[in-house]
Amino acid sequence: MSGPVLQVDGLVAGYEPGVPIVRGASIRVERGEIVVVLGPNGAGKSSFIKAIAGLVPVSAGKVLLDGTDITAVPAHRMVRMGLAFVPQTENIFPLMSVDDNLKTAGGILKSKEAAERIARMYDTFPDLRTFRRTAAGNLSGGQRQMLAVARALIVEPKLLVLDEPSAGLSPKLVSMVFSMLSDIRKAGVTILLVEQNARAALAIGDRAYVLVEGREAHEGVASELWNDPVVAELYLGQRPQPSTGGAA
Protein backbone atom coordinates (compact mmCIF):
# COMPACT_ATOMS: atom_id res chain seq x y z
CA MET A 1 0.00 0.00 0.00
CA SER A 2 2.97 2.30 -0.10
CA GLY A 3 4.08 4.36 -3.07
CA PRO A 4 2.20 7.15 -4.81
CA VAL A 5 -1.35 6.68 -6.10
CA LEU A 6 -0.39 8.36 -9.33
CA GLN A 7 3.02 8.77 -10.87
CA VAL A 8 3.46 10.50 -14.21
CA ASP A 9 6.92 10.47 -15.81
CA GLY A 10 7.94 12.59 -18.79
CA LEU A 11 4.52 12.56 -20.41
CA VAL A 12 4.38 13.73 -24.04
CA ALA A 13 0.93 13.98 -25.58
CA GLY A 14 -1.11 15.85 -28.19
CA TYR A 15 -4.04 15.47 -30.54
CA GLU A 16 -1.96 15.36 -33.70
CA PRO A 17 1.23 13.37 -34.20
CA GLY A 18 4.32 15.56 -34.07
CA VAL A 19 2.49 18.45 -32.40
CA PRO A 20 2.79 17.73 -28.69
CA ILE A 21 0.88 19.97 -26.31
CA VAL A 22 2.19 18.21 -23.25
CA ARG A 23 5.98 18.12 -23.51
CA GLY A 24 7.48 15.89 -20.88
CA ALA A 25 5.49 16.65 -17.74
CA SER A 26 6.02 14.65 -14.53
CA ILE A 27 3.97 14.71 -11.35
CA ARG A 28 3.24 12.52 -8.36
CA VAL A 29 0.13 12.22 -6.19
CA GLU A 30 0.39 10.56 -2.77
CA ARG A 31 -2.42 8.70 -1.08
CA GLY A 32 -5.03 10.96 0.51
CA GLU A 33 -3.66 14.14 -1.06
CA ILE A 34 -5.31 16.89 -3.03
CA VAL A 35 -2.85 17.90 -5.74
CA VAL A 36 -3.52 20.97 -7.86
CA VAL A 37 -2.12 21.63 -11.33
CA LEU A 38 -1.96 25.33 -12.16
CA GLY A 39 -0.66 27.19 -15.15
CA PRO A 40 -1.27 30.05 -17.53
CA ASN A 41 -3.70 29.70 -20.39
CA GLY A 42 -2.35 27.46 -23.11
CA ALA A 43 0.08 25.73 -20.81
CA GLY A 44 -1.44 22.37 -21.67
CA LYS A 45 -3.08 21.74 -18.27
CA SER A 46 -6.28 20.38 -19.70
CA SER A 47 -4.53 18.22 -22.30
CA PHE A 48 -2.20 16.93 -19.59
CA ILE A 49 -5.02 15.75 -17.38
CA LYS A 50 -6.93 14.31 -20.35
CA ALA A 51 -3.84 12.42 -21.44
CA ILE A 52 -3.68 10.87 -17.98
CA ALA A 53 -7.34 9.84 -18.36
CA GLY A 54 -6.67 8.27 -21.76
CA LEU A 55 -8.49 10.93 -23.78
CA VAL A 56 -5.47 12.44 -25.55
CA PRO A 57 -3.00 10.19 -27.40
CA VAL A 58 0.27 9.78 -25.51
CA SER A 59 3.45 9.51 -27.58
CA ALA A 60 6.02 9.13 -24.79
CA GLY A 61 6.26 8.85 -21.04
CA LYS A 62 4.49 6.76 -18.46
CA VAL A 63 1.43 6.94 -16.24
CA LEU A 64 1.39 4.62 -13.23
CA LEU A 65 -1.76 4.22 -11.14
CA ASP A 66 -1.00 2.52 -7.86
CA GLY A 67 2.07 1.01 -9.51
CA THR A 68 0.16 -0.31 -12.54
CA ASP A 69 1.08 1.10 -15.94
CA ILE A 70 -2.09 2.62 -17.39
CA THR A 71 -0.48 4.67 -20.17
CA ALA A 72 -2.04 2.67 -22.97
CA VAL A 73 -5.32 1.85 -21.26
CA PRO A 74 -8.28 3.13 -23.37
CA ALA A 75 -10.44 5.78 -21.73
CA HIS A 76 -13.41 3.53 -21.11
CA ARG A 77 -11.26 1.05 -19.13
CA MET A 78 -9.84 3.74 -16.83
CA VAL A 79 -12.81 3.55 -14.49
CA ARG A 80 -12.18 -0.16 -13.96
CA MET A 81 -8.53 0.59 -13.24
CA GLY A 82 -9.64 2.98 -10.50
CA LEU A 83 -9.26 6.37 -12.15
CA ALA A 84 -12.42 8.47 -12.41
CA PHE A 85 -12.35 11.61 -14.53
CA VAL A 86 -14.71 14.58 -14.38
CA PRO A 87 -14.52 16.70 -17.56
CA GLN A 88 -14.72 20.46 -17.40
CA THR A 89 -17.88 21.00 -19.44
CA GLU A 90 -20.63 18.76 -20.76
CA ASN A 91 -19.92 16.38 -17.92
CA ILE A 92 -23.46 15.08 -17.49
CA PHE A 93 -25.95 13.47 -19.87
CA PRO A 94 -28.51 16.28 -20.14
CA LEU A 95 -31.48 14.24 -21.40
CA MET A 96 -31.19 11.49 -18.82
CA SER A 97 -32.58 11.69 -15.32
CA VAL A 98 -30.19 12.22 -12.43
CA ASP A 99 -30.81 8.62 -11.44
CA ASP A 100 -29.92 7.29 -14.90
CA ASN A 101 -26.84 9.49 -15.00
CA LEU A 102 -25.62 7.80 -11.84
CA LYS A 103 -26.57 4.38 -13.16
CA THR A 104 -24.47 4.80 -16.32
CA ALA A 105 -21.41 4.83 -14.10
CA GLY A 106 -22.60 1.77 -12.22
CA GLY A 107 -22.23 -0.30 -15.38
CA ILE A 108 -19.07 -1.94 -14.17
CA LEU A 109 -20.62 -2.93 -10.83
CA LYS A 110 -23.11 -5.63 -9.91
CA SER A 111 -26.57 -4.10 -10.02
CA LYS A 112 -27.19 -4.58 -6.29
CA GLU A 113 -23.87 -2.99 -5.41
CA ALA A 114 -24.57 -0.12 -7.78
CA ALA A 115 -27.97 0.50 -6.20
CA GLU A 116 -26.43 0.60 -2.72
CA ARG A 117 -23.75 3.04 -3.75
CA ILE A 118 -26.23 5.28 -5.54
CA ALA A 119 -28.34 5.33 -2.37
CA ARG A 120 -25.24 6.32 -0.41
CA MET A 121 -24.50 9.07 -2.94
CA TYR A 122 -27.98 10.44 -2.36
CA ASP A 123 -27.22 10.53 1.36
CA THR A 124 -24.06 12.50 0.66
CA PHE A 125 -25.77 14.84 -1.84
CA PRO A 126 -29.41 15.19 -0.71
CA ASP A 127 -30.02 17.75 -3.46
CA LEU A 128 -29.53 15.03 -6.03
CA ARG A 129 -32.11 12.82 -4.36
CA THR A 130 -34.65 15.64 -4.61
CA PHE A 131 -34.10 15.84 -8.37
CA ARG A 132 -33.51 12.16 -9.05
CA ARG A 133 -36.29 11.97 -11.65
CA THR A 134 -35.41 15.30 -13.27
CA ALA A 135 -33.55 15.45 -16.56
CA ALA A 136 -30.01 16.41 -15.64
CA GLY A 137 -30.01 19.18 -18.24
CA ASN A 138 -32.47 21.09 -16.08
CA LEU A 139 -30.14 21.22 -13.07
CA SER A 140 -28.30 24.37 -12.04
CA GLY A 141 -24.58 24.69 -12.70
CA GLY A 142 -23.64 23.74 -9.15
CA GLN A 143 -25.99 20.77 -9.10
CA ARG A 144 -24.54 19.53 -12.40
CA GLN A 145 -21.05 19.68 -10.97
CA MET A 146 -22.31 17.80 -7.93
CA LEU A 147 -23.87 15.15 -10.14
CA ALA A 148 -20.72 14.78 -12.21
CA VAL A 149 -18.61 14.31 -9.09
CA ALA A 150 -21.14 11.92 -7.54
CA ARG A 151 -21.14 9.84 -10.70
CA ALA A 152 -17.34 9.67 -10.63
CA LEU A 153 -17.36 8.59 -6.98
CA ILE A 154 -19.78 5.71 -7.48
CA VAL A 155 -17.01 3.45 -8.68
CA GLU A 156 -15.02 4.29 -5.50
CA PRO A 157 -11.95 5.31 -7.48
CA LYS A 158 -8.39 5.25 -6.23
CA LEU A 159 -7.98 8.66 -7.80
CA LEU A 160 -10.52 11.33 -8.67
CA VAL A 161 -9.35 13.60 -11.49
CA LEU A 162 -11.15 16.88 -12.16
CA ASP A 163 -10.71 19.33 -15.01
CA GLU A 164 -11.48 22.85 -13.72
CA PRO A 165 -14.42 22.07 -11.48
CA SER A 166 -15.00 25.79 -10.88
CA ALA A 167 -15.28 26.76 -14.54
CA GLY A 168 -18.32 28.84 -15.29
CA LEU A 169 -19.62 28.88 -11.71
CA SER A 170 -20.48 31.93 -9.63
CA PRO A 171 -18.08 32.74 -6.75
CA LYS A 172 -20.54 31.35 -4.23
CA LEU A 173 -20.83 28.06 -6.09
CA VAL A 174 -17.07 27.92 -6.48
CA SER A 175 -16.62 27.86 -2.73
CA MET A 176 -19.39 25.28 -2.45
CA VAL A 177 -17.68 23.00 -4.98
CA PHE A 178 -14.31 23.33 -3.29
CA SER A 179 -15.67 22.62 0.15
CA MET A 180 -17.37 19.57 -1.36
CA LEU A 181 -14.00 18.40 -2.72
CA SER A 182 -12.42 19.02 0.64
CA ASP A 183 -15.08 16.83 2.29
CA ILE A 184 -14.55 14.11 -0.28
CA ARG A 185 -10.86 14.08 0.50
CA LYS A 186 -11.65 13.80 4.21
CA ALA A 187 -13.63 10.68 3.33
CA GLY A 188 -10.36 9.20 2.03
CA VAL A 189 -10.42 9.91 -1.72
CA THR A 190 -7.23 11.05 -3.43
CA ILE A 191 -7.82 13.99 -5.77
CA LEU A 192 -5.95 15.53 -8.69
CA LEU A 193 -7.36 18.70 -10.19
CA VAL A 194 -6.51 21.29 -12.78
CA GLU A 195 -7.61 24.81 -11.98
CA GLN A 196 -7.64 28.37 -13.27
CA ASN A 197 -8.93 29.63 -9.99
CA ALA A 198 -5.59 29.38 -8.16
CA ARG A 199 -6.66 31.00 -4.92
CA ALA A 200 -9.59 28.67 -4.28
CA ALA A 201 -7.70 25.59 -5.40
CA LEU A 202 -4.59 26.30 -3.33
CA ALA A 203 -6.79 26.87 -0.30
CA ILE A 204 -7.87 23.23 -0.27
CA GLY A 205 -4.83 21.65 -1.97
CA ASP A 206 -1.92 19.96 -0.23
CA ARG A 207 0.60 20.33 -2.99
CA ALA A 208 0.59 22.02 -6.36
CA TYR A 209 2.44 21.96 -9.66
CA VAL A 210 2.69 24.87 -12.04
CA LEU A 211 2.62 23.77 -15.66
CA VAL A 212 4.29 26.02 -18.24
CA GLU A 213 4.60 25.20 -21.93
CA GLY A 214 3.63 21.62 -21.45
CA ARG A 215 5.93 20.69 -18.56
CA GLU A 216 5.95 21.24 -14.84
CA ALA A 217 7.96 24.35 -13.98
CA HIS A 218 7.44 24.44 -10.29
CA GLU A 219 6.30 22.23 -7.46
CA GLY A 220 5.50 23.07 -3.88
CA VAL A 221 3.27 22.92 -0.87
CA ALA A 222 0.01 24.59 -1.78
CA SER A 223 -0.07 27.14 1.03
CA GLU A 224 3.51 28.23 0.34
CA LEU A 225 3.12 28.36 -3.40
CA TRP A 226 0.68 31.20 -3.14
CA ASN A 227 3.44 33.37 -1.65
CA ASP A 228 6.30 32.10 -3.81
CA PRO A 229 7.70 35.03 -5.83
CA VAL A 230 8.86 32.80 -8.72
CA VAL A 231 5.44 31.27 -9.05
CA ALA A 232 3.78 34.62 -8.69
CA GLU A 233 5.84 35.88 -11.58
CA LEU A 234 5.29 32.77 -13.64
CA TYR A 235 1.63 32.56 -13.31
CA LEU A 236 -0.09 33.93 -10.28
CA GLY A 237 0.94 37.46 -11.19
CA GLN A 238 -1.86 37.46 -13.68
CA ARG A 239 -4.59 37.15 -11.12
CA PRO A 240 -7.23 34.86 -12.49
CA GLN A 241 -10.75 36.20 -12.84
CA PRO A 242 -13.11 34.39 -10.52
CA SER A 243 -15.18 33.10 -13.39
CA THR A 244 -12.65 32.30 -16.08
CA GLY A 245 -13.81 29.38 -18.10
CA GLY A 246 -11.13 29.17 -20.75
CA ALA A 247 -9.65 25.76 -21.33
CA ALA A 248 -5.92 25.37 -21.47
Partner 1 sequence: MDLIGYGAFFLTTALIFAIISLGLNLQWGLTGLFNVGVAGFVAIGAYTSALMTTPDDPARFGGFGLPILIGWAGAMAVAGIAAAVTGFATLRLRSDYLAITTFGVSVVVQLVALNAQKLTGGAFGVGFIPRPFAGLAETPLLFNLSNLAIVAVVTLLAWLALEHLSRSPWGRVLKALREDERAAISLGKSARFYRVQAFAVGGALMGLAGAVQAHFTGFIAPDNYAPMLTFQVWVMLIVGGSGSNLGAVVGSVLVWAIWAGSGALTATLFPPEQQARAASLQIVAIGVMLCVILLFRPNGLFGNLTYRRRFGLKARKPS
Partner 2 sequence: MNLQFVVDGLLTGSMIGLGAIGVTLTYAILRFSNFAHGDFMAWGTYATLAVVGAIGAMVGKVAPLGPFSFGWPLLVALAVGCALTGLLALALDAVLFSRLRARGQSIIVVMASFGASMALRSLLEFIFTSRPTYFSRAIQIAMPVGFGIRITPDQIALLVLTAVLVAATHLLMTRTQTGRSMQAVSQNPALARVVGIDVARVVRATWMLGAALACVAGTMVGILVQIRPLMGFDMLLPMFAAAILGGIGSVPGAVLGGLIIGLAEAAAVQFVGAEWRAAVSFVILMAVLFVRPIGLFGVKER
Could you say which of partner 2, partner 1, none residue 93 binds, taking C-beta under 5 to 8 angstroms by partner kind? partner 2
Q: Does 17 bind partner 2 (CB under 8 A)?
A: no
Q: How far is the CB of 135 from partner 2 (least distance, A)?
A: 10
- Here's the x/- map for partner 2, 177-216, by CB under 8 A: it reads as ----------------------------------------
Amino acid (1-letter code) at residue 104: T
In what order do the strands lie in the sheet containing 22-29? 22-29, 6-13, 58-65, 68-69
Q: Does 15 bind partner 1 (CB under 8 A)?
A: yes
Could you say which of partner 1, partner 2, none residue 115 binds, taking C-beta under 5 to 8 angstroms by partner kind? none
Alpha-carbon distance of 40 to 50, in angstroms, equals 17
Cite the DSSP H helix spans in 167-215: 171-186, 198-204
Q: Does 91 bind partner 2 (CB under 8 A)?
A: yes
Q: How far is the CB of 107 from partner 2 (least distance, A)?
A: 5
Angle between helices 111-124 and 141-153 (to 10 degrees): 140
Residue 95 or 230 having the CB closest to partner 2: 95
Could you say which of partner 2, partner 1, none residue 123 binds, taking C-beta under 5 to 8 angstroms by partner kind? none
Residues 44-103 close enough to bind partner 1 by CB under 8 A? 55-57
Q: Does 226 bind partner 2 (CB under 8 A)?
A: no
C-alpha dihedral sign at 214, 189, 73, 65 = positive
Q: Which stretch binds partner 2 (CB under 8 A): 11-19, 70-78, 178-186, 222-230?
A: 70-78
Closest C-alpha to 7, from 84, 79, 68: 68
DSSP labels, 144-180: HHHHHHHHHHTT--SEEEEE-TTTT--HHHHHHHHHH
Q: Which stretches of the chain bind partner 2, using CB under 8 A? A: 53, 55, 74-80, 85, 87, 90-96, 100, 103-108, 111, 151, 155
